[in-house]
Amino acid sequence: MPSPLRRVACWLGAASLAVLTMLAMPGAAHAATPNWPTLSTGTGGANVSTAQFLLRHHGRTLTVDGYYSAGTAAATSSFQSANGLAADGIVGPLTWGKLVVTLDPGANNNAVRALQTALNKYGYGLTVDGVWGASTTTAVSAFKSGRGLTGGTTVGATTWQWLVGGGGGGGTWAPVIDRSVLPRSEYDDPHHDYPAIDLPTQTGVTTYAITAGTVSHAGGSCGYGVGITGDDGAYYLFCHLSSRSVAAGARVSAGQVIGYTGATGNVTGPHLHIEVRVGGVNRCPQQLLLAIYDGATVPAAASLPSSGCSY
């Protein structure tokens, strides 16, 4: 539904200068700690690799390949039995709570590999070598300070929860911003003049690649824009960023940090403008974003309507 108190707008190449109300920008919705993700047979991505490294740290023998195979489930069940948990072979909140370990600079083990893998979801580009050196300290400091986390450079359970609960899981689709930033009702709003959507974020909200693909940079009325030509052939465009985190031509995976929201380009206030194009034709992103938000089956970009989401 429309949210008249937080209307923001942008014009990408349009001459329109309608005056829209901005009575109240969102008051610092300080993000809540994200939920622990649930990993089970058939899932894949960076969170699975993180769990696999942690299982190794706790003495289980398994392949670290980012795919939750029967072997990973068996290792999880073994770990659960040894820790007084129901041995269902699924990594949920209770199992994460036993898997994660408190880490400090200088550590050298598989739990550090898990940490480095989780940090790399946010674009830190660390070598996953299990050695906590200066670059890992820098990444941990930046990650924690960006989220207001306390405790210096120590990585404890809360930091782990932020690491694996945010940033997408490395699967096919990822939320473009953390789910806790905006309510579901912001993802079905029409765009003001053509198929697109404006998410009314504040400046500085971490923005993730919606799917895997190749990056191009956009500019002009888009401001600091990042386009992703997805592996599905569709083009996903994110506009008005305050900064970009990926170079033109780079490969990204779903959930990788591409930049931070802002108000560059032709805008009346900070927000994230999103377009989905198939064959150069704009599609309505609303159903795609809602499906990702809901964890439901994501419709193919080519199946999205090309009208009916503007006013």
Positions that interact with Zn ion (CB under 5 A) = 10, 198, 273
Q: Which residue's beta carbon is nearest to the bound Zn ion?
A: 273
What one-character DSSP code corresponds to residue 10? B
Q: By the 8 A CB rule, do 46 and 209 touch?
A: no
Residues forming beta bridges with residue 119, ordered by sequence position: none
Residue 56 or 244 having the CB closest to Zn ion: 244
Would you call 164 helix, strand, or coil by DSSP?
helix
Long-range interactions of 96-100: CB distance < 8 A, separation 24+: 96/36, 96/51, 96/160, 96/161, 96/164, 97/36, 97/157, 99/51, 99/54, 99/55, 99/58, 100/54, 100/157, 100/160
Helix (H) / strand (E) containing 281: strand 281-283
CB of 285 vs Zn ion, minimal distance in Å = 11
Listed in sequence order, the DSSP H helices in the chain are 46-57, 70-82, 93-99, 110-120, 134-146, 157-165, 286-294
CB of 265 vs Zn ion, minimal distance in Å = 10
Residue 10 or 254 having the CB closest to Zn ion: 10
Residue 244 or 273 having the CB closest to Zn ion: 273
For the record, the structure tokens of 131 come out as 């050695």
Residue 178 or 198 having the CB closest to Zn ion: 198
What one-character DSSP code corresponds to residue 184? G
CB of 239 vs Zn ion, minimal distance in Å = 7
CB of 194 vs Zn ion, minimal distance in Å = 9
Residue 228 or 274 having the CB closest to Zn ion: 274
CB of 264 vs Zn ion, minimal distance in Å = 13
CB of 93 vs Zn ion, minimal distance in Å = 37
Would you call 141 helix, strand, or coil by DSSP?
helix
Per-residue HEC secondary structure of 225-273 comes to EEEEEECCCCEEEEEEECEECCCCCCEECCCCEEEECECCCCECCCEEE
Q: Report which residue type is found at 166.
A: G
CA–CA gap between residue 93 and residue 99 (Å, rounded): 10
CB of 11 vs Zn ion, minimal distance in Å = 8
Residue 12 or 62 having the CB closest to Zn ion: 12
CB of 9 vs Zn ion, minimal distance in Å = 6
Residue 10 or 51 having the CB closest to Zn ion: 10
What one-character DSSP code corresponds to residue 203? T
Residue 130 or 262 having the CB closest to Zn ion: 262
